[in-house]
Amino acid sequence: MRKFEPLPEELQPVVHSLELKAILVVDDDRQLASALQWILADENFLVDIAFDGEEAMLKVKAHEYDAVICDLKMPKLRGDEFYLKAKELRPSLTDRFIFITGFAADPHIALFFNQHDVKYLVKPFPISVLINCVKELLS
Residue 133 lies in a domain: yes
Residue 1 lies in a domain: no
Q: Are strands 45-50 and 119-122 parallel, antiparallel or unpaired?
A: unpaired
Residue 10 is predicted with a pLDDT of 61
Residue 12 lies in a domain: no
Residue 1 is predicted with a pLDDT of 56
Q: What is the number of domains present in the chain?
A: 1
Residue 40 is predicted with a pLDDT of 96
Residue 139 is predicted with a pLDDT of 87
Residue 122 lies in a domain: yes
Residue 63 is predicted with a pLDDT of 95
This prediction has a pTM of 0.85
Residue 76: is it exposed, middle or buried by C-beta count within 10 angstroms (0-12/13-18/19+)?
A: middle
Residue 4 lies in a domain: no
Residue 119 lies in a domain: yes
CATH of the domain at 70: 3.40.50.2300
Residue 43 lies in a domain: yes
Helix (H) or strand (E) holding 67: strand 67-71
Ranges of residues in the chain whose predicted pLDDT is under 70: 1-18
Please give the residue range of the domain that contains residue 116: 21-138
Residue 33 lies in a domain: yes
